[in-house]
Structure 1
Amino acid sequence: MSVKSRRSLLLACGALLAVAAVAVPVVVGTASAEQASANQPRIVGGNQASLADHPYAVYLTDAGGNQFCGAVIVSSTAVATAAHCAKAVAKQEIRVVAGREDKRTSDGEALGVSKVWISQGYSDPTQGGDVAVLTVRGQLGYRPAKLPESGDAGLYNKGTQATVLGWGRIADGGARSDYLRSAQVPVVSDSECRSDYTVYDQRSMVCAGYAEGGVDACQGDSGGPLVVGDTLIGIVSFGEGCAKAGKPGVYTRVSAYADDIKTQATPRLLG
């Protein structure tokens, strides 16, 4: 089985696309930005979405403006993304683009990154811990997503309808989207996901998608949010292809890292 992260492969030809729903994860620890871009997933089977409804959805580019992943605002100074996205491009080259629904415009802002935190022990998306927090230079003036609380365990129940967001490809091997897209996908039970992916770890991962396929994240969507309402329950991580039957998207289970994300996202006060 070939499992890939959902970053975008377009940097090689001048454009990085970041998606996170491929079933065969690709290790981005030492990969180039272009490799990261080519391995990412995008939203398949979805529709155009609005930042008015999801102001916390952002994407990542390199210094040349090439998109390679998605991310989600978690505080006024930080965004969460996939660890394999954070390791794909040098810190000084990463830009967080917020408030830009259509990538062809100059709306919103592009902020540099001052700090990168990656979950301890992360090595590969299929091994879990595929989460990172990027501290931006400046302030993000957009509403952040909510992090799950202890009483939100029910959000991970089988059948819960969640929304995945991203600017990635709209078909496996197809063209990338210029604008934000979203798709509704149901949470899949741990037992079902374990039968679909032998590498599945219910402590650090969660799956979402339809048994018949057709709707999924894709290349270029890696690092983007999976939300229920405005609560962040997952981060696009990896998958096998995009929207394949019997191969739901695999996401980082945010509840397992909520405390770490909150700690890293809290603005530091200068004494």
Structure 2
Amino acid sequence: MQKQRKKIARLIAGAAVALAAVSLAPMGIAMAGEDGAKKAPSQAAVEQHSDDISAKIVGGTEAEKGEFPWMVRLSMGCGGALFEKDVVLTAAHCVDGSGPNDSITATGGVVDLEDSDKVEVKSTEVLQAPGYDGKGKDWALIKLAEPIDQETLPIAEDDSNNKGDFTIAGWGADKEGGEQQQKMLKAEVPFVDDATCKGAYSELVEKEELCAGFMDKGEIDSCQGDSGGPMFRKTEGGEFIQVGIVSWGEGCARPGKPGVYTEVSTFAADIKKAAADLG
């Protein structure tokens, strides 16, 4: 079974449901071509799942302006968080390799993408996690042409916060197969241990991925278009810290199929070094 990334990936729904008998790819692994209709039904179904970028938080409520100031919407249909004022942390599957890149627009400072207060900044460079091949290591950095004057979100540097309840937020679909949202949604999801998650996804890369969601009922989850956005929680000191990056999952908010997130603490040192190297 192929992973369905939550950007394009967690985007499968509508067509996915109609083609469920053919394929249930977990959230799109990579952007596919636009000629799926010319291909065999099963291949076309998988590519549609992995290409669709629309989506949002399922079972969420609207976020308040300024509530999560580090949140960023990326023009390719992903989310992200300000690691630095001019560096966005997102998912590796949201970008196409590393190098100079001025094609991405980051929108920050608002929860409503039509808000006149929004700040839009172009990218200058992208760094995709070295060695990323679609399994684990799902992180990337986007250097911005100028800073976005908002708070940044610290990342977890050990696994002590990989527990309890997490907050997820984004402009992705509010249901499997749904459309992108104009206003940011937020929701709370509980930690799912590796052993339980491995039962849902045999391909889970332990130590590089962690899971969260309601195993029994589903109902609340990140979805298509939320890829690359942060999963975060408050530390014992009351400060927000990023513990995950929206990565993939089978469908959205399905019982027994939690969301899978990049385990940020595993890559904290690499992320910090990469950000410094971006200059």
TM-score class, shorter-chain normalisation, is 0.7 to 0.9
* Aligned counterpart, 2:252: 242
Is the CA contact (8 Å cut-off) linking 1:117 and 1:132 kept in structure 2?
yes
> Shift in Å at residue 241 of structure 1?
0.4
Moved more, 190-199 or 141-150: 141-150
State the 1:37 CA deviation: 5.6
C-alpha distance in 2 between matches for 1:2 and 1:35: 10
Distance 1:255 1:23 in 2: 27
| Structure 1: unaligned runs, 5 residues or longer | 12-21, 63-67
Q: Distance in 2 between matches of 1:30 and 1:122?
A: 17
- Structure 2 residue aligned with 1:257, among 243, 267, 272? 267
Over 3 Å off, 4+ runs? 29-32, 34-37, 266-269
The equivalent position to 1:76 in structure 2, one of 59, 68, 85, is: 85
Which letter does structure 2 place at the counterpart of 1:58?
A: V
Tell whether the 8 Å contact from 1:47 to 1:181 is kept in structure 2 after alignment. Answer: yes
What amino acid sits opposite 2:64 in the alignment? S
Correspondence 1:100-115 to 2 at 5 A: 100-115=110-125
- Return the offset for 1:265: 2.6
Q: Structure 1 residues 23, 244: CA separation in 2 closer, same or farther (over 3 Å shift)?
A: farther
2:36 maps to 1:27: no
| C-alpha distance in structure 2 between counterparts of 1:191 and 1:213, whole Å | 18
Deviation at 1:50, TM superposition (A): 2.3
Paired position in structure 1 for 2:190: 186
Q: Is the 8 A contact 2:169 2:184 kept in 1?
A: yes
Indicate the residue corresponding to 1:156 in structure 2.
162
Q: In the alignment, is residue 91 of structure 1 matched against residue 101 of structure 2?
A: yes
- Partner Cα separation in structure 1 for residue 32 and residue 256 of structure 2: 30
In structure 2, what is the equivalent of residue 15 of structure 1?
Answer: none
Matched, 1:47 2:42: no
With the length of structure 1 as denominator, give the TM-score of the two structures: 0.83
Q: Could you tell me how far 1:2 is from its partner in structure 2? A: 5.0
Q: CA RMSD in A?
A: 2.6
The match for 1:166 is 170
Q: Structure 1 residues 231-240 or 95-104, which shifts more?
A: 95-104
Of 220, 224, 241, 2:225 maps to 220
Kept in 2: contact 1:60–1:95 (CA 8 A):
yes
Q: Is the 8 A contact 1:163 1:185 kept in 2?
A: yes
Name the counterpart of 2:52.
Answer: 38
Q: CA separation in 2, counterparts of 1:207 and 1:232? A: 14
Number of the residue aligned with 2:6: 6
Mapped contact 1:23–1:250 kept (Cα < 8 A)? no
Q: Is the 8 A contact 2:74 2:80 kept in 1?
A: yes
1:101-140 mapped onto 2 (5 Å cutoff)? 101-124=111-134, 127-140=135-148
Tell me by how many angstroms 1:27 deviates. 2.5
Instruction: Kindly provide the CA deviation profile for residues 109-144 of structure 1, in whole angstroms up to 9, marking residues without a partner as x.
Output: 1111111111111111xx111110111101121101
- Which residue does the alignment assign to 2:40? none
Determine the structure 1 residue equivalent to 2:44: none
CA distance in 2, matches of 1:23, 1:254: 24
Read off the aligned partner of 1:155 and give its amino acid letter. N
Tell me which amino acid in the other structure corresponds to 2:203: V
* Letter matched to residue 134 of structure 1: I
Distance 2:96 2:278 in 1: 23
The equivalent residue for 2:39 is none
Q: CA deviation at 1:259?
A: 1.2
Measured in 2, the distance between the counterparts of 1:136 and 1:220 equals: 21
- Count of residue pairs the alignment pairs up: 246
How far is 1:54 from its partner?
A: 0.7
Paired-residue identity, %:
33
Q: Residues of 1 paired with 2:218 and 2:192: CA distance?
A: 12
Give the Å deviation of 1:197: 0.2
CA offsets 1:146-198 (integer angstroms, 9 cap, x no match)? 11133xx22113xx110001000001112322101111000100100111101
TM-superposed CA distance for 1:220, in Å, is 0.6
Q: Given the two structures, how large is their TM-score scaled by the length of structure 2?
A: 0.81
